[in-house]
Each structure stands twice: as structure tokens, then as C-alpha cells.
């Protein structure tokens, strides 16, 4: 029996807007001023429902800035939110990152956030002619662990036009290192 009530509430929850419109139309027939007030209150409540989402995105962005590298699963645990919601938020942030200092990549079926300092160091080492292994060794302090991360960061930065051509090629850098 409780399952039937649950189904009824879920159905009402899905169709609340249509039910509300019907109620406002019925009230408008008998008392137009009350219908205008109901419409105004409904519109206000609807607009207020977006405020928590805005606070969440700001809180998420401030939280991300504390880490050199953080993965979506850890963010979900820290925020006590479903992984799906965190991934959607990170996806939205990743769509608008052309002019940002930080970087969000998708690697091994998860989103990874890289801090601005990590990206600046990566670009610095890349421009000096370091190869992937040398960049990885240099960025161990920034929590980078795999060569695949270096490749994805490089590809993403190139795709976003944030990575210029190298000042010194890898070959030239190796020759300098050999003669030093």
C-alpha cells in the first residue's frame, strides 16, 4: 500500500507545473487578482530554486582551487554529492576554459582538475623542450603520476590554443643536456 502513495507523489512531483497552471486558471475564473498573486508567487519560487545551484558552483570552484590536481570521485566524496552531479558541473566548467588558468581534462573515464600553477609549470617545461618523461619527473610535486596525464594535458592545451610552439625542440634540449 505505501508504494501506491509513493507513486502518486512522484507523479504529482513530475507534473506539478501543469497542475499549478490548471489551479491558476480555475482561480482566475473566480478571482483574477488571486490568480495574479499566485502566478507571481510561483514565478518567484521558481526563480529562487536556481540560487542553490549558483552557490554550489561557486563553492565548487573555490574548493578546486585548493588542489594542484583532484579527480571527480574525490570531489564527490568531499561534497557528499552524487558523482553524476559533480561530473555534470565539471563538464560545464570544462566547456568554458579557453581563457582560464586552470584545466579540466577527461582521462580514464573521469574528470581531472589541474590547478593554475600546475598548468603554468607544464607550459614552462614544455617550452624549454622537455619530453614527456622529463615533464612528468619535474611535476611530481604537483601530483602528476602518469605519462597519459601529460599527453592529455598537452592535447587539451593545444586544442584550446593555450600552448604555443616550443621555444627549444626536444632534440635541441637533449643535445644541450648531453654537452653540459
Give the pLDDT mean for 46-74.
87
CB 103 within 8 A of CB 153: yes
- For residue 71, the model assigns a pLDDT of 94
pTM > 0.85:
no
What residue spans define the domains of the chain? 2-49, 53-173
Complete edge-to-edge strand list for the sheet that includes strand 103-107: 69-71, 110-114, 103-107
Q: How far is CA 9 from CA 12, 19, 34, 100, 107, in A?
A: 5, 13, 26, 44, 40
Tens digits of residue pLDDT in 6-47: 777 667 666 777 778 888 888 889 988 988 898 888 888 778
The mean pLDDT of the chain is 86
Alpha carbons within 13 angstroms on the beta-carbon side of residue 58 total: 5
pLDDT tier, 2 (very low <50, low <70, confident <90, very high otherwise): low
- For residue 68, the model assigns a pLDDT of 92
Dig out the grid coordinates for 95 from the structure. 566547456
Residues paired with 103 in a beta bridge: 114
Amino acid at each position: 500500500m505505501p508504494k501506491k502513495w509513493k507513486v502518486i507523489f512522484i507523479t504529482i512531483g513530475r507534473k506539478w507545473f501543469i497542475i499549478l497552471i490548471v489551479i491558476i486558471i480555475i482561480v482566475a475564473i473566480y478571482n483574477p487578482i488571486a490568480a495574479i498573486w499566485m502566478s507571481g508567487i510561483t514565478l518567484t519560487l521558481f526563480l529562487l530554486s536556481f540560487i542553490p545551484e549558483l552557490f554550489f558552483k561557486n563553492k565548487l570552484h573555490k574548493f578546486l582551487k585548493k588542489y594542484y590536481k583532484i579527480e571527480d570521485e574525490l570531489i564527490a566524496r568531499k561534497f557528499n554529492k552524487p558523482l553524476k552531479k559533480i561530473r555534470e558541473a565539471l563538464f560545464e566548467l570544462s566547456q568554458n576554459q579557453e581563457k582560464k588558468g586552470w584545466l579540466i581534462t577527461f582521462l580514464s573515464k573521469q574528470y581531472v582538475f589541474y590547478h593554475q600553477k600546475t598548468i603554468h609549470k607544464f607550459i614552462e617545461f614544455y617550452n624549454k623542450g622537455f619530453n614527456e618523461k622529463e615533464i612528468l619527473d619535474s611535476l611530481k610535486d604537483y601530483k602528476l603520476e602518469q605519462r597519459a596525464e601529460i599527453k592529455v594535458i598537452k592535447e587539451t592545451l593545444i586544442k584550446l590554443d593555450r600552448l604555443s610552439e616550443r621555444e627549444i625542440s626536444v632534440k635541441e634540449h637533449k643535445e644541450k643536456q648531453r654537452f653540459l
